[in-house]
Amino acid sequence: MKKIIATLTAILAMGFSSSFAGTLVINTDLTDPAPKAAFEWAFNKFQEENPDVTIEVNNFDHEGYKQAIRNFLTTSPPDVFNWYAGNRMLPFVRAGLVEDVSDIWSDTGWVDGNLTEGMSHAKKPMTIGGKQWGIPYTYYQWGVYYRKDIFEANGISVPTTWDEFVAACATLKAAGVTPITIGSKYLWTTAGVFDYLNLRTNGYEFHMALTKGEIPYTDPRVHAVFDKWDELVKPGYFLENHASLAWQEAIPPMINGEAAMYVMGNFSVALFKEGGLTNDNLGFFQFPEITPGIPMAEEAPTDTMHIASGAKNKTDAKRFLIFLSRADVQEEMNKTLGQLPVNSGSKVDPDPFLEAGLNMLNNAYAMAQFYDRDAPAEMASEGMKGFQEYMVNPDRRDKILERLEKVRQRVYK
Amino acid sequence: MGWFSTTPFLNVPNSIQITYRKSSWWKLNQQRLTPWIFLFPGLLLFLVYVIWPIFNSLYISLLQWDGLSPAIYVGLSNYIELLDDEYFYISLMNNLKWLILFMLAVPIGLGLAIFLNQTIFGIRLIKSLFFFPFVISQVVIGIIFSWFYNPRGVIGPFLDKLGLSNYAILADENFATYGIIFAGIYPQIAYCMILYLTGLNNLNTDQIEAGRMDGAKGFSLFKNIILPQLKPATFLAIVVTVIGSLRSFDMVAIMTQGGPYGSTNVLAYYMFETALSEYGYRMGYGSAIAAVLFTIMMFYILFFIYRMYQSEKKGL
């Protein structure tokens, strides 16, 4: 009997504590080990600092989350959820499902008072219609990962200009090594190449105008990008059969020494190292300059945290977002994530890839989010299909660009 | 008690009189109503989960809607766009390829069934091994076949010897669909085989003996005596194969996601891609594709129902 009473009291106590103190409901898709560990640390730390708040986490499968978010935001909104910057959040913002958090950014709702300073460089991708809709907590760089030893064996030094880059490819090809590996089965890898070619040929402003739908795909400047792409595709510098490979499946050729470079995001480093590469034979360099004098913008997809407009506990939700923006929190989380903290007050681990990335992004002219986050979903899907088709059949360029132009006129009307 | 006055001449036991008294409206209509009462739960579910969604999709196909923002009525413009959509025609053509090539499962299944219809030691085990592909999930088959086709996979070395080194069928826009159909047909053959095996079990031995006496043997025996008796099995095999080919979705989704660049799309997957995938959410356009697929299926289903109706009429 005593036991039962004790249990009852415990249950009651639990019930009361969760209904009296704030319960913070967080929906996430952190099924991969590193993000999961990083967030578990963050949740514990937040709870430590705010003992009156109880965090309730609903964890979704990464792929399923993309579907689930549409349902839970409309039917049973959580307080906080994670998503992505740029155009990816636009449909939800437009449908009024995301809470405006401009006050955090303008420091009026900000306790420690230095968000504007620490994260101003990341404000643009979080802005729609002059307001901010969330906060970024991590990002990572894109660039070229390469085999140092293969470069050395063939007498190639790290290319900084387009001509050097193409010459390096030619040397590698002649030596029987596939210059660039890629797996385009899921399409998005092709967009990484396109983005960089466009950013380097025409610059950040043009790239943004294109993804915003202001420039026809049949524009001669877009053709100029494909002219550069031709120089890689036509001589066969990309991995054969890339259309049947997932991005991970394109990594073994590089580990085996059959391929030398990969235009990729920093998340690939973990897989390279799992495959046996080390800091001695795996290197990173910035995508080389194409049009001289164009300021170098980089690709840096940002992961973000938002408050649902239907949140029940907006006060604690804001506290959590502020907590997540702090330099010390981002520093610790990104150590686990193996990515870069957005807050410029945070430091990174002494890792050559992270240091290179941080150095590159801190000096970047601007940051693009990635084609499928900058362009609206419909355009991105057709565009990436087109890029893949072009990479297999470079002769169809005109037909593909005309088709993309047709899609552009429909999507942005 | 009113009924006393109506029954005194009948001189029947009380119990029957009681049933007379109960001959209410319910009693009179019981025979007609009972089937409907039993059908009611099923009909209700059918209405809610089949009929209503059909009309709702037809309605959505007239909208421009992303599933979140308010929908805009656009009339037939989704259908007009469909007429000018390259990927739509590719998907339609691929559906046709599926339909035709999938039919191969029927004769191959028949051949296997006849081959396995023997009484030797261990035949049960052999039969179940042949039936195995139908038991394992389509998803598993799709994944295994994509490994197969991978140039670094199982068949790579053989292709090298044939002079097709590094050939990846799933990356070849001209042949990828055939690669998927081949994977899809693998469990379908097993399905047809099992239908024919049960058919072969029920053969009328008298007819076969009579045929033998009349001098029929070999192919002529098979064609004139056995095949006609297998007609119900053949009909069923064709029906399930046609349906299987039209709803080919899982194999495409697993093996290529409609790629390379849309060349292996089928209507069902294209509908999913435009309406529900990561980059999709054009509910109206997806519904328009669904409406086209529905129309095609409807033709087939009506034919199927007509055939059933005809044979039932004969049977009565």
The domains of chain A are located at 2-137+303-350, 142-299+376-411
Location of structure tokens 């200009």: A161
pLDDT tens string B169-191 = 888 888 899 999 999 999 999 99
Q: Tell me the pLDDT tens digit for each residue of B121-134.
A: 888 898 889 888 88
Interface size, chain A vs chain B, as Cβ–Cβ contacts under 8 Å: 77
Strand pairing of A259-265 and A178-181?
A: parallel
What distance in Å separates the CA atoms of residue A195 and residue A189, rounded to the nearest whole number?
10
Contacts of residue B257 in chain A, CB cutoff 8 Å? 185-186
Query: Whose CA is closest to A171, among A153, A183, A184?
Result: A153
- The enclosing domain of B265 has a CATH number of 1.10.3720.10
Alpha-carbon distance A351 to nearest alpha carbon in chain B (angstroms): 33
Nearest C-alpha of chain A: how many angstroms from B69?
A: 5
Taking 90 as the threshold, does the pLDDT of residue B222 lie above it? no
Contact B262 A385 (CB under 8 A): yes
Among B54, B87, B197, which residue's Cα sits nearest to residue B134? B197
Q: Is B268 exposed, middle or buried (0-12, 13-18, 19+ CB in 10 A)?
A: buried
Other C-beta atoms closer than 10 Å to the C-beta of B305 total 10
What residue of B is the nearest CA neighbor of A372? Answer: B279
Partner A, chain B 183-242, Cβ-Cβ below 8 Å: none
Q: Is residue B1 part of a domain?
A: no
Structural class in CATH, domain A142-299+376-411: alpha beta
Secondary structure letter of residue B54 according to DSSP: H
Verify whether the Cβ–Cβ distance B279 to A91 is below 8 Å.
no
Domain with B139, as residue range(s), is 80-315
Asked whether the bond before B151 is cis by omega within 30 degrees of 0, the reply is no
Q: What is the mean pLDDT of chain B?
A: 85
Position A403: which residue type? R
Can you tell me the mean pLDDT for B100-110?
94
Nearest to A195 by CA among A368, A413, A364: A368
Q: How many domains does chain B have?
A: 1
Instruction: State the ipTM, two decimals.
Output: 0.72
Nearest to A198 by CA among A291, A307, A124: A291
Instruction: Record the tokens describing residue B182, joined without a space.
Output: 């081949």
| DSSP code string of B100-146 | HHHTTHHHHHHHHHHHH----TTHHHHHHHHHHHHHS-HHHHHHHHH
Q: What is the CA radius of gyration of chain B?
A: 28
| Chain B hits for A410, Cβ within 8 Å | 81
DSSP state of A292: T
The interaxial angle of helices B86-102 and B267-276, nearest 10 deg, is 140
Q: What is the mean pLDDT of residues A313-323?
A: 90
- CA–CA distance, A321 with A184 (Å, rounded to integer): 35
Residue B257's alpha-carbon distances to A65, A198, A319, B219, B261, in angstroms, are 19, 27, 41, 44, 9
Interface check B262 vs A, CB under 8 A: yes
Q: Which residues in chain B have their CB less than 8 angstroms from residue A185's CB?
A: 256-257, 259
Q: Which of A95, A187, A388 sits opposite B69 (nearest CB)?
A: A95
Q: Can you tell me the mean pLDDT for A7-20? A: 43
pLDDT of residue B163: 77
Higher pLDDT among residues B62 and B166, named by residue: B62
SS3 B154: coil
Q: CB neighbours of B149 closer than 8 A, spacing ≥ 6? A: A244, B155, B168, B169, B170, B179
In a domain, B185, yes or no: yes
A379 min Cα distance to partner chain B (Å): 9
Give the closest-approach CA distance of A176 to chain B in angstroms.
Answer: 15
pLDDT digits (tens, 9 = 90+) for A39-64: 999 999 999 998 999 999 998 887 78
pLDDT, position A11: 44
* Alpha helix ranges (H) inside chain B: 2-6, 14-21, 25-46, 52-60, 77-83, 86-102, 105-116, 123-135, 138-149, 156-161, 176-201, 205-213, 218-221, 227-229, 231-246, 250-255, 267-276, 283-315
A56 phi and psi angles, rounded to 5 deg: -120, 120
| Cα–Cα nearest to B188, from B241, B135, B249, B229 | B241
Domain with residues A2-137+303-350, CATH architecture: 3-Layer(aba) Sandwich (3.40)
What confidence tier does A12 reach under pLDDT thresholds 50, 70, 90? very low
